[in-house]
C-alpha cells in the first residue's frame, strides 16, 4: 500500500531500517563462547595433534567459520558452525581418552601378569624350601635356618607354607607321627644352644598344633649344634645349621630305626 505510493524511496528506507535493526539486535553468542572454550581446551591437549589431528583441524575450521559468522552478523551460521566445532572437539577428546585408556589398560594387564608371576614364584620358592627328602631316617623335611634369627626361637612368616603343608599331610595320614628336631649353629655356649634348639623344635610343634595337628602325635627334641649340615665358619653355613628338621614316621606311626637313634644318617 505504502510501497505503491513511493516504491523506490520507501524500499530504500525499509532496507535502512532493517539494517539498523539488525545492527542493534545483539547476536546470541552463547554457542560461540562454548565452542571457543571447547576448541581451546581441546587444542591445548598435547595429544590432540597426534591422536586426533582430523578433529583438531575440523573443529578449528568450524570455529573460524563461526567467528566469521559473528563478524558478518549471521546468527544461523554462527550457531551452526559453533555446534559443529563443539561436537568435533568433543569427538577428538573422546578419541584421545580412548587411546589413553587403552594404553593404561595394556600397562595394568602387564602389572596383573606380574602379580600372577610373583605369586607363582613365591609358591614355587615356598615349595622348594619344603622339598622333603627321603633319608634313612624316613621322610625328612628341613625348615632352613633363615626361618630363625640368631639366638631366637621365633619362627619367621616364611615358614608358614611349609607348616601348612605339613599339617595338611598330617590330616591326610592320621596315624603318621612327627619327630621335630631343633638344631643351632656353633655360636655361643653349648648349654644355651641346647636350650635354644629345644625351643626351636617346640616353636615348630606349637605352630603345627595351632594348625590343628594333635600334640600327642608330635615329639620334640633339641640337638644343639650337633650334626651340622654346613660349615659353621661362614654366615651362610651357620644359617643352614640353624634349622628344624621334621622327621615323619610311616603311615602306621612307626619311625625308622635311624630316626630313633638320631645319629645314623
Provide the binding-site residues for another protein, judged by CB under 8 A.
76, 80, 83-84, 87-88, 90-92, 94-95, 97-98, 101-102, 104-105, 108-109, 111-112, 115-116, 118-119, 122-123, 126, 154-155, 157-161, 163-164, 207, 210
Q: Are 223 and 261 in contact (CB under 8 A)?
A: no
The smaller minimum CB distance to another protein, of residues 98 and 257, is found at 98
The answer to whether 185 touches 233, Cβ cutoff 8 Å, is no
Q: Please say whether the beta carbons of 144 and 237 come within 8 A.
A: no
Minimum separation from the CB atom of position 158 to another protein (A): 7
Task: Compare residues 99 and 217 and give the one whose CB is closer to another protein.
Answer: 99
Cα–Cα distance measured from residue 240 to residue 143, given in angstroms and rounded to the nearest whole number: 9
98 vs 236, beta carbon nearer another protein: 98
| Beta carbon of residue 74, minimum distance to another protein (angstroms, whole number) | 12
Task: Between 91 and 150, name the residue whose CB sits nearer to another protein.
Answer: 91
Q: Which is nearer to another protein, 22 or 108 (CB)?
A: 108
Query: With respect to another protein, which residue has the nearer C-beta, 79 or 245?
Result: 79
**Positive or negative, the Cα torsion across 186, 191, 192, 196?**
positive
Report in angstroms how near the CB of residue 235 gets to another protein at its nearest: 24
* Alpha-carbon span 66 to 62, nearest angstrom: 6
- State in angstroms the smallest separation of the CB of 32 from another protein: 15
CB 182 within 8 A of CB 220: yes
Q: What are phi and psi of 143, to 5 degrees?
A: -90, 110
Closest CA to 227 of 192, 262, 179, 177: 262
Question: Which residue intervals of 130-245 are DSSP H helices?
Answer: 160-172, 190-210, 235-241
Please, what is the minimum distance in Å from the beta carbon of residue 2 to another protein? 30
Give the nearest distance from C-beta 97 to another protein in angstroms: 4
d(Cα 256, Cα 31) in Å, to the nearest integer?
92
Amino acid at each position: 500500500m505504502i510501497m505503491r505510493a513511493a516504491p523506490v524511496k520507501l524500499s530504500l528506507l525499509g532496507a535502512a531500517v532493517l539494517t539498523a535493526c539488525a545492527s542493534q539486535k545483539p547476536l546470541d553468542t552463547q554457542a560461540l563462547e562454548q565452542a571457543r572454550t571447547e576448541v581451546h581446551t581441546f587444542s591445548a591437549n598435547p595429544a590432540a595433534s597426534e591422536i586426533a589431528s582430523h578433529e583438531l583441524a575440523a573443529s578449528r575450521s568450524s570455529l573460524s567459520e563461526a567467528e566469521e559468522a559473528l563478524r558478518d552478523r549471521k546468527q544461523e551460521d554462527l550457531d551452526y558452525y559453533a555446534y559443529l566445532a563443539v561436537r568435533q572437539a568433543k569427538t577428538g577428546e573422546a578419541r584421545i581418552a580412548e587411546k589413553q585408556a587403552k594404553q593404561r589398560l595394556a600397562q595394568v594387564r602387564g602389572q596383573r601378569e606380574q602379580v600372577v608371576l610373583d605369586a607363582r614364584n613365591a609358591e614355587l620358592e615356598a615349595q622348594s624350601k619344603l622339598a622333603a627328602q627321603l633319608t634313612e631316617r624316613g621322610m625328612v623335611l628341613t625348615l632352613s635356618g633363615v626361618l630363625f634369627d640368631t639366638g631366637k626361637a621365633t619362627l619367621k612368616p616364611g615358614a608358614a607354607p611349609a607348616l601348612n603343608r605339613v599339617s595338611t599331610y598330617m590330616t591326610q595320614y592320621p596315624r603318621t607321627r612327627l619327630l621335630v628336631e631343633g638344631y643351632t649353629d656353633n655360636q655361643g655356649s653349648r648349654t644355651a644352644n641346647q636350650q635354644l634348639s629345644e625351643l626351636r623344635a617346640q616353636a615348630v610343634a606349637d605352630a603345627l598344633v595351632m594348625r590343628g595337628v594333635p600334640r600327642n602325635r608330635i615329639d620334640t627334641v633339641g640337638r644343639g649344634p650337633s650334626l651340622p649340615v654346613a660349615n659353621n665358619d661362614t654366615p651362610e653355613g651357620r644359617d643352614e645349621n640353624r634349622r628344624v628338621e621334621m622327621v615323619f614316621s610311616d603311615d602306621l606311626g612307626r619311625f625308622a630305626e635311624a630316626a630313633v637313634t638320631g645319629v645314623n644318617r
